[in-house]
């Protein structure tokens, strides 16, 4: 999962507005949303392309706020079928009824924990022209050492 999206003031973890506090402490100005989130989900549920597209749309809506310049991508695929490479015809196997998709939507919407894990796993990086982006862990350490 790539999580390069959202605005710092919007970061809420376990109900606590951590982003707002860090944003105020860093005295940064708001910039337009330009980040991205890329989410990939695999399921063994027997879904067709339309159903997978619906599940993928749920992922993007849950994991990100849109902004001009942001690039949000979700890919969903099913491993329920195998098709022989040299098959003369493909028989469509039974699909999951749309009325049974709710558990898959709930599972897809539950990406918050994965996003938080990625944020806390990130390290501070230094980019072009010495531009430094500190990790969430470092930002929280700096904040707690000031208290």
Which active-site residues does the annotation give? 36, 70, 72
Q: For residue 139, which of 34, 3, 5, 11 has the smallest C-alpha distance?
A: 11
* CA separation for the pair 103, 114 (Å, rounded): 18
Q: Are 25 and 5 in contact (CB under 8 A)?
A: no
**Which two three-digit tokens encode residue 17?**
């507005």
């Amino acid at each position: 999962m790539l999580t390069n999206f959202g605005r710092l003031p919007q970061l809420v973890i376990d109900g606590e507005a951590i982003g707002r506090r860090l944003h105020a402490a860093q005295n940064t100005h708001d910039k337009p949303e330009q980040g991205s989130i890329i989410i990939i989900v695999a399921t063994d549920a027997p879904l067709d392309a339309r159903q997978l597209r619906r599940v993928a749309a749920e992922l993007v809506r849950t994991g990100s706020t849109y902004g001009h310049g942001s690039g949000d991508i979700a890919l969903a695929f099913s491993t329920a079928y195998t098709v022989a490479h040299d098959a003369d015809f493909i028989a469509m196997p039974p699909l999951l009824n749309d009325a049974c998709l709710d558990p898959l939507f709930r599972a897809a919407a539950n990406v918050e924990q994965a996003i938080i894990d990625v944020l806390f796993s990130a390290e501070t990086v230094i980019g072009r022209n010495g531009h430094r982006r500190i990790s969430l862990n470092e930002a929280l350490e700096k904040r707690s050492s000031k208290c």
